[in-house]
Amino acid sequence: MSVSWGSVAAVLGLAVPVAAALWEFVLAGRKRLGYRVQLDTTIRDSSASGPDTTVLQRMQWDGTNLRDPSVVLLRIENAGWSPVVAADYVAPASDPVGIRIAFPGRRVVGMTVTERSPQVPPTFFVPGAEGFETTGREVKLPKVILNRRTHYKVLAVLDREEGFTEPEFPEPEVTAGIVGGVRGGNIKKTAYYPFASRQVRWLLASLILVSATQSAFTLAGDDDAVAAPLDCAAGTLHLSGSTAFAPVLREAARQYERTCPDAHIPLTATSFKGSVDGLDALAGAGEDARLPDGRGLGDRLAFSDGPKSEGRPRLLPRPVALSLFTLVVHKDAGVEDLSLKQVRDVYAGRITNWSQVRGNDVPVHLISRNPGSGTRTTLEQQVLDGRPLPAVTAADCAGLARDRPGRCEVGGTGTLLDTVASTPGALGHSEVGAAAAHDGVRQIRIDGYPATLEGADQGAYPYWQTEIAYTYGEPPADSIAAGFLRYLANEVGKDIIRSRGHRPCAELDKPLLCRPDGTPAAR
């Protein structure tokens, strides 16, 4: 009795989905705890920026500044299909601790729960709750009740232990267990799969292969469709553009390379020179590639503070985040709050000495970014009502006359902040995170409102802009450019954007516009 290959393929086509269902709903569906390390980064120098970095750089432990601070964000989740209750944790009934997280080489300075599913009771995480504490290098978490598909996130602030000299810290060690759970019940390190778990995706891939084989025998045809990965992609990606958004991109690139071993994102100190320079580089690379219409570059992205100018028809925008900017002043100016009218009068040359706004008797020195800076363009458009900056009076900021007003220009955000800090009477503009991390400058409120996302969202604070990623044409879906953009929009990417003081577009009421409520779309 002969058996056709088509029949064999048909039998396998039935067996594979049955096996997938048994695995997902019977074996893996038992009680199971999982965790993910979503962010593990150190902040060692002034190149890092953001409100969190300011806290870390100024935080003290027993009266002593932190020597090498870092932050770790972990997600604890019910990775099975059955609820986890207090009695399920492998721990004596008298011990309120269900999960222990150790950080080799680091001691815990502070800890909080930043996010939880609505079904997770908040009483587990109130101050003084049993099992919710830190000791030395360890974070202790209580026996939290976790229904199916619920989670919570723990943010730990850490510092290097004395005597630990390794340049990189070991990964956190998470210890927990579930009675009768999968694979001995130990907590399992999971990963983010927007579609399905690794095992189920393997089984589904097998099913696709079997189905393709059966179709080949039945129809004598070829199936050449290849599914592209959702996030991870192989290849080299070149990033350029905004200096204000550079800290986010550097951290995201580092995490993406760790997650995707076949991806390479080379970055140097000069990778980010400004929004216009980045758009020029992207457009030039696309023109050199001589791509036909309908095809796009898959290895380059440029990031801009705000929309591109006209004349770049093949650069396609994708809003990423809402970014905040601030005016910064030298501490001897004696001002902390200016009305919007006063700001415009300063840049129009009608206010030339800080004493005119009841500050100190010091001439106003305007320190600005070079043309092409998105931070500067945003200042002109959002704050100065479209009016350009006054003429430059000194080619080098060191040549500004100290006894009379003037203006000069510098390259990057860091250089601007250093120049403002060293120039009496200086006024400049910067991304909020970098300004907050610089001790030598003071941020200026506008009409009494500080630079906050809430103030921008309610229309009270004017100095903000949409951070936009640009591609040359539509990148292939399986390219590293498309994969990195999806990564920025998913859970881990949004955490990185938030940690640097920006707001992901997906969290706004109108994510496609990515603008505060009540503001008109850019034309």
Alpha-carbon distance of 504 to 510, in angstroms, equals 11
Which band of pLDDT confidence, cut at 50, 70 and 90, is reported for residue 400? Answer: very high
- Count CB atoms within 10 A of the CB of residue 82: 16
Among 45-49, 122-126, 238-242, 365-369, the least confident range: 45-49
Query: Region 8-15: what's the mean pLDDT?
Result: 59
Q: Decide: helix, strand or coil at residue 432.
A: helix
Which band of pLDDT confidence, cut at 50, 70 and 90, is reported for residue 523? Answer: very low
Among 275-279, 336-340, 409-413, 514-518, the least confident range: 514-518
The more confident residue out of 184 and 394 is 394
Q: What is the pLDDT of residues 15-36, one digit of tens each?
A: 655 565 555 555 555 688 999 9
Question: For position 309, what pLDDT does the model report?
Answer: 87
| CATH code at 323-464 | 3.40.190.10
pLDDT higher than threshold 70 for residue 207 = no
Question: For position 240, what pLDDT does the model report?
Answer: 96
Question: For position 67, what pLDDT does the model report?
Answer: 81
Q: Report CA-CA distances (Å) from 463 to 297, 341, 378, 453, 502.
A: 32, 14, 7, 10, 13
Under 8 Å between Cβ of 488 and 436: no
Query: Region 324-340: what's the mean pLDDT?
Result: 96
Among 178-182, 326-330, 333-337, 460-464, the least confident range: 178-182
Q: Report CA-CA distances (Å) from 318 to 105, 205, 277.
A: 40, 31, 18
pLDDT higher than threshold 90 for residue 358 = yes
Alpha-carbon distance of 425 to 443, in angstroms, equals 13
Q: What is the pLDDT of residues 470-514, one digit of tens each?
A: 999 999 999 999 999 999 998 789 999 998 888 999 888 888 889
Fold of 29-189: Immunoglobulin-like (2.60.40)
Given 3-state DSSP classes, what are the helix, strand and coil percentages for the chain, each rounded to the nearest 5?
Answer: 30, 25, 40
As a whole number, the mean pLDDT across the chain is 85
The more confident residue out of 408 and 177 is 408
Q: How many CA atoms lie within 13 A of 392 on its CB side?
A: 13
| All structural domains of the chain with their residue ranges | 5-25+197-219, 29-189, 235-322+466-507, 323-464
The residues facing 79 across adjacent strands are none
Q: Report CA-CA distances (Å) from 233 to 266, 267, 481.
A: 15, 18, 8
| CATH code at 235-322+466-507 | 3.40.190.10
Query: What percentage of the chain has pLDDT greater than the value 90?
Result: 59
Q: Which amino acid is at 6?
A: G
pLDDT higher than threshold 70 for residue 219 = no
Q: Which two tokens stand for residue 142?
A: 């209580």
63: left (phi over 0), alpha (psi -120 to 50) or beta: left
pLDDT higher than threshold 50 for residue 225 = no
C-alpha angle 65/66/70, rounded to 5°? 155
Q: Which two tokens stand for residue 336?
A: 């902390």
Question: For position 380, what pLDDT does the model report?
Answer: 96
Query: What percentage of the chain has pLDDT greater than the value 70?
Result: 80
Q: Comparing 29-189 with 323-464, is the CATH topology the same?
A: no
Among 22-36, 84-98, 334-348, 469-483, the least confident range: 22-36
pLDDT higher than threshold 60 for residue 5 = no
DSSP line for 194-215: SS--HHHHHHHHHHHHHHHHHH
pLDDT higher than threshold 60 for residue 284 = yes
pLDDT higher than threshold 80 for residue 520 = no
Question: For position 127, what pLDDT does the model report?
Answer: 86
Question: For position 327, what pLDDT does the model report?
Answer: 98
pLDDT higher than threshold 50 for residue 226 = no
Tokens 């004017």 label which residue?
A: 462
Question: For position 472, what pLDDT does the model report?
Answer: 96
pLDDT higher than threshold 80 for residue 319 = yes
Q: Which amino acid is at 369?
A: R
By DSSP bridging, strand 235-236 and strand 263-264 are: parallel
Q: Decide: helix, strand or coil at residue 80.
A: coil
Question: For position 44, what pLDDT does the model report?
Answer: 64
pTM of the model: 0.56
